[in-house]
Structures are given as structure tokens and as C-alpha cells.
Structure 1
Amino acid sequence: MSVRKFLLPVSSSASAEAALHAGLMLAKMWNAHLEVLYISADSREIVPIAGEGLSGAMIEEMMSATERESGSRAASLRELFYAVTEEQVVTVGDALPGRNEPSASFTTMTGREDQVVAHRARLSDLTIVPHPLAGEDVAAADALHAVIFDSGRPVLLAPVVPPESIGKRIAIAWNGTAFAASALASAMPFVRQAEAVCILHSPEYFRPGPSAVEVAEYISHHGVTAEIRTFYPRNRVVGAGLLAGAVEFGADMMTMGAYSTTSRLRQLILGGVTRHVLENATLPVLMNR
């Protein structure tokens, strides 16, 4: 089990920097390739949004303004990409068969961001998404949900600030669901080489399924010994207790099933564990469904 290809969709320099550092750290860890992807909005899509009542000249100016702004963002992100890859001493260029060193590339595409990200993520081992709160990047949240719901592949929520390490101490958020199992399967390459692993479980978080003890027994077949810890809600918030448990363990990465207990819409309206983690996590979080 190995990880060879990472995808990192970016939309603004403010939110991309920490995620870029995390992505290059992972590329160096696995001698893998990191594809940094900027998606330019199709200016033709603003025409139906603009609606009636605008002259052709006005619509043309709106399209030109959209293209100028997109070009400016792409240039800024490309500059950041080259600066960080130089700092991290990572080769810039397309991935080559048999290459056993980290590499990175910067790609620009045009289209609907959620659709393009979901499609590209389907052929990536892991997609890294900037934290939506970093630079208040709404597009990052759209990319995150596109991967979770439409790619069939795992996503890693990057922290707001560049991490010092990823995957040395892993916390497994376990609630017995198929979604948690899917996230665990995606994280196993990291689990197998971690220095310490902890399984976090709670009566308030658990659903019918295998127990934390059974999870520990399962990963023992991969040569990994895991500690089992029980966490409890903080101020009646399960997600807060989960994150506190990960911090107390000293985790630099957490894995969990996403939107596994209720629908995404219900979580967005009423709140839930996934939503709380997305809004408050300070460590990298690997999610899957």
C-alpha cells in the first residue's frame, strides 16, 4: 500500500499557502507527485446569471473582467507555487513513471470548479483541500464537498497554518459506520508507518457496527498497535470532544467518516460532528464516505 499521486485544488493565495506546504510535505514523505490545480471560471457562464436587461456590451465587459480577475489569481498562485517548491526543494515537472523522488506541477483548467475537482480527484490517491477558514475561502469549501460527495476518494482537510508534521501520530475517529471504515481504509498507508496510533470512540458518537477493540485487532494484522481512548462531548458538542481527544493524544492527523450520521443538509442546518470538525479542526483531517 502506497500513495503516489496527490491533488491540491487552489483558488486564492491566502488559503493555498498552508495547504501547499502540507501537500509538498506529503509528496516528500511518499516520493509522490503533487498536482496543484487552479480552475478558471468559464466567463460564458455569467451570461445566464446576468439575466435580461443588460446590453451586449455590458455582458462583454463582465466576461472580460472575469477573465482578467481569473488570470490575476492564476499568476499569483503560480508565483506562490514556485516560491514554496523552491523553498521545499521539490522538483517541478510532470510525474514520470519510475521516478522515485517528490515532484510537483501547476495546472490550470477552465470549467465548473466542483465538477472539475470531483473528476480529477477520482484518479488521485488523496486530494488535499485548503481549510475554508483560511482566507475565508468559500471555493475551498465547495471543493471539499465536491471530493467528499462526488469523487469516491478520500480528502485531506489542510490546517489553517503550515503543519510541522503529518502522520506521525494518528487519531482514528471511530463510530462503527461504513463511512468510518472507508476513511480508515484510505488512511492505512499512513497508519502503517505512524509512530503512534490512537482510536477515539464515544457512546454519544457510536453507531451499530464493529467496536473500537475490533478496530485495534484489525490493524494489528498490519503490524500496528493502537491505543484505545474514550472521549466525551464538550459542552454537549460531540465534535468538540472528538477534537479535544485528538489534541490530548498529540495527533498530527485524524481520520474520520464524513457526514455519516445524518444528511449533509441536516448537518449544515442543525450542525453535526463533521460540520464542527470542518469549522474547528487545527490538524490535518482525512475524511471519506
Structure 2
Amino acid sequence: MIRDLFLPLTGTPGDESAVAAAIALARTCRAHVSVVQPVDLSLPIPSAWGITPDPTLGHTHDTLRAEAARQAVRWRERLDGEEVSWEVRVDEPGLVEPPRAMARQALYSDLSVMAAPAPTASDAAFAHALFNALLFESGRPVLMVPHAPPLPVRHAIVAWKSCRHASRALHDALPLLAGAGSIDIVTVDPAAAGAFDGADPGVDIATHLARHALPVNLVSLPRGGQTVASALLRHASESGAQLLVAGGYGHSRLREWALGGTTRDLLLATHLPILFSH
């Protein structure tokens, strides 16, 4: 059941699509939408002598706060009249980096919704950092939106392998899958999968979903020289899917999380909304 949607703004053109998707989802689920405009304030750089006050920071911070307030007003005007419960607030994280501050706020939601970063946009760095923080630090699923999806979902794809991340993503997505007319459980190169998949990869999870009265189909895709992400996205395009569900993979590096290859490729190349969960 989805009752709380969290939407941190990225400052990119994709925010409009993310907000439209959140509104449509809130309307379907009768959920509340919290839109948050973060303020990225530069902090004084510490030295061997401590933190030296920078007289220029005060003016810079005032400018950033004023711009955040202006953006908040614009989004309130955008949401005014929508027949869903919503709020728009400005968040000033202080000594915490904005992406991590947003991940903390996402703890109190059912689902985070955000704009998918453009692969070549110069302003995509914050969106990437935000996605990493939400995925690996909030414990909540993240719906990445490259454009506003038609809701409710008519056809969905679940990228399946027998592991914790895929199972978590699938079960986090159940509220979105409940009204789907068809769901493809897709395995890529199942013969190369781990021993836990058994003789018929995907059968066990398809049986589980059938007990939820979900209309599932098993689809096995060969890689054929493609990446896993390319095979999944090609099937999504050919089958007319409105949603892809995938585990969000990564590895810890110097206390920071780096995205796994398939997760990164899906994030940068997707043409449809993807629900990731870690």
C-alpha cells in the first residue's frame, strides 16, 4: 500500500515529468506527495587553523535561499488545483550533503520518485548523487521517471534473478503491479545464472506471483552480444511496457556506494520508468 510519496527536486528539466508521474500515482493510490526543494549551501573549508569565515558566503547563501524559495513558489503554483494531497517545502540540510539529507527524509515515505538524470546533461551530477543516496541509504524503493508514465500500469517487466535485490524490488513494486494486465518475468541468459535458479529459472517466483492473482508470463532472453540492460530495455520497448522493476546493485567503496554496471546502464539509457530497490 502506498500512502506517502517523496519527491526531491533535481533542478533539471526532468522534474516536471517526475512531478506529473507522482501526481498520477497519488491519484491512483490516494497518496500524499511531498515535494522537496533542497538548498545546496557551500560550507567553509576547514584548514589547520580551523574554519576561517568567508565574507562572501553570506551573500552566496542568501542568493541560493532566495532561488530555492522562488522555485518552491513555482511548484506550489504548478500543484495548485490538483485533486491530491500535497506539500512543497524547502530543505536546508546544514552540515549534511543535500543527497544524504534527502535520503534521510525518504525514510518516512513508501516510495521516492525522482527525475532520471540525462546521460550527457551538465547538471546531472546532483541527480546521480541523489539517486545513489536514495537507493543505498534510505531503505526505500526509488521510481526513476524519464517521462510521465501512463498510469495505471497496463504491462510491466520484472528483471529477475534469484537474489535479495531482485526479490526486494519485486515485492516493493507489488502495489504498482496490482492493476497490471500482464507482467513479464524476464531472465537474461538464464543458463549462465547461479545455481539457486534451478532447472527452470523464474518458475518459482512466477508461481509466487500467481498466488497474488497477478497475470505473469515467463520470458527468457539471450544476451546475444548485448548488455543485460540493453536486452531488458529492448524487450520493454518491443512489448510496450510502462514499467520496469529491477534490483539496484552496487558496491561499497571508501564508505561511498558505486552503482553496479547493469543498474548504471539502465539508469542512463531507459526510456520508461524503472522502480529500483536495494
Q: 8 Å contact 2:12–2:124 — kept in the other structure?
A: no
Report the CA distance shift for 1:153/1:268 in structure 2 as closer, same or farther (over 3 A). closer
Higher strand share: 2
Q: Which residue does 2:212 correspond to in 1?
A: 222
* Paired residue type of 2:207: E
Does residue 114 (structure 1) correspond to residue 102 (structure 2)? The answer is no
Q: 8 Å contact 1:232–1:238 — kept in the other structure?
A: no
Does residue 12 (structure 1) correspond to residue 40 (structure 2)? The answer is no
Shift of 1:180: 0.1
Q: 8 Å contact 2:144–2:273 — kept in the other structure?
A: yes
Q: Which residue does 1:149 correspond to in 2?
A: 136
**Number of residue pairs the alignment of both structures matches:** 266
> CA–CA distance in 2 between the matches of 1:196 and 1:81?
36
> CA–CA distance in 2 between the matches of 1:144 and 1:55?
33
> CA–CA distance in 2 between the matches of 1:132 and 1:280?
10
Give the secondary-structure state (helix, strand or coil) at the position aligned to 2:108.
coil
> CA–CA distance in 2 between the matches of 1:157 and 1:202?
22
Q: Which residue does 2:28 correspond to in 1?
A: 29
> CA–CA distance in 2 between the matches of 1:50 and 1:69?
25
Higher helix share: 1
Does residue 250 (structure 1) correspond to residue 245 (structure 2)? The answer is no
Report the CA distance shift for 1:227/1:55 in structure 2 as closer, same or farther (over 3 A). closer
1:123 to 105, 108, 130: 108
Q: Which residue does 1:48 correspond to in 2?
A: 45
> CA–CA distance in 1 between the matches of 2:48 and 2:37?
27
Report the CA distance shift for 1:246/1:206 in structure 2 as closer, same or farther (over 3 A). farther
> CA–CA distance in 2 between the matches of 1:169 and 1:19?
20
Does residue 90 (structure 1) correspond to residue 82 (structure 2)? The answer is yes
Q: Which moved more, 1:272-281 or 1:136-145?
A: 136-145
What's the TM-score, normalizing by structure 2? 0.86
Give the secondary-structure state (helix, strand or coil) at the position aligned to 2:237.
helix
Give the secondary-structure state (helix, strand or coil) at the position aligned to 2:13.
helix
> CA–CA distance in 1 between the matches of 2:76 and 2:221?
39
* Paired residue type of 2:187: H
Deviations 1:173-205 (Å, cap 9, x if unpaired)?
001111000001101111222121111111267
> CA–CA distance in 2 between the matches of 1:15 and 1:40?
18
Report the CA distance shift for 1:72/1:197 in structure 2 as closer, same or farther (over 3 A). same
Give the secondary-structure state (helix, strand or coil) at the position aligned to 1:14.
coil
Q: 8 Å contact 1:171–1:197 — kept in the other structure?
A: yes
Q: Please list every run of 5 or more consecutive structure 1 residues that lacks an aligned counterpart in the other structure.
A: 92-101
> CA–CA distance in 1 between the matches of 2:229 and 2:266?
6
Paired residues for 1:197-212 under 5 Å: 197-203=183-189, 206-210=193-197, 211-212=201-202
Give the secondary-structure state (helix, strand or coil) at the position aligned to 2:45.
helix
Q: 8 Å contact 1:118–1:146 — kept in the other structure?
A: yes
> CA–CA distance in 2 between the matches of 1:129 and 1:49?
33
Report the CA distance shift for 1:15/1:188 in structure 2 as closer, same or farther (over 3 A). same
Does residue 238 (structure 1) correspond to residue 223 (structure 2)? The answer is no
Q: Please list every run of 5 or more consecutive structure 2 residues that lacks an aligned counterpart in the other structure.
A: none
Shift of 1:283: 0.7
What's the TM-score, normalizing by structure 1? 0.83
Q: 8 Å contact 1:171–1:249 — kept in the other structure?
A: no
Report the CA distance shift for 1:263/1:154 in structure 2 as closer, same or farther (over 3 A). same
> CA–CA distance in 2 between the matches of 1:280 and 1:129?
16
Q: Which residue does 2:251 correspond to in 1?
A: 263
Fraction of identical pairs, as percent: 23
Q: Which residue does 1:162 correspond to in 2?
A: 148
> CA–CA distance in 2 between the matches of 1:109 and 1:232?
46
Q: 8 Å contact 1:8–1:128 — kept in the other structure?
A: yes
Shift of 1:238: 1.6
